[in-house]
Structure 1
Amino acid sequence: MRKLRADPTTHTAGYLLPEDAYRALEQARDRLDLLARLAAPRAVQEDAPEAESPLRLTVLAQCFEELADQLDRGLRAARWSNPLP
């Protein structure tokens, strides 16, 4: 099957995201994945209501604050691009 190549003179409307902002969003995604894996129970007893988390709440809160900041910076860096007809 032949690959279709985009015509470089054809532009569509959409959001433009600088590379550094894209990398920040990737890092935020990876951190969220790590936190989800850390928080996931590994045994039935770890899912019990009385089970304690291996993560201190202050550390978890700090991670979420940093992630929120990364996501905010990434979203603010996005710019709408509406090419001329």
Structure 2
Amino acid sequence: MYYLITWKNYYDEDWVKESDLDCNELIKKFKKKPNHIGDYYLVEFIIGHRKINDQFELYVKWKNYDHENAVEWIEYKQMVKQQMLEEYETNFMNH
């Protein structure tokens, strides 16, 4: 699981893996809240891919996200719908 973190006293936001965070109580509190974000943090489309240390990463465009973090590298299959992955694999990864 990844969380979009807004750092205190900073404008920057980062996607951070849950295992890299040291704030268990804050995560528990967040998980108890109803989910009102809808599809705001969904991948809109896959731009490209790369392989680093035997791990694939996808370069993605986030849906409804309009600032400098609208595109970024994420771990393969992380937060991407299965149908989108299958279409991308069929069209681009097997050529």
TM-score (norm: length of structure 1): 0.27
* Larger Cα-atom Rg: 1
Determine which structure has greater relative contact order: mean sequence separation of CA pairs < 8 Å that are 6+ residues apart, divided by chain length: 1
More helix per residue: 1 or 2?
Answer: 1
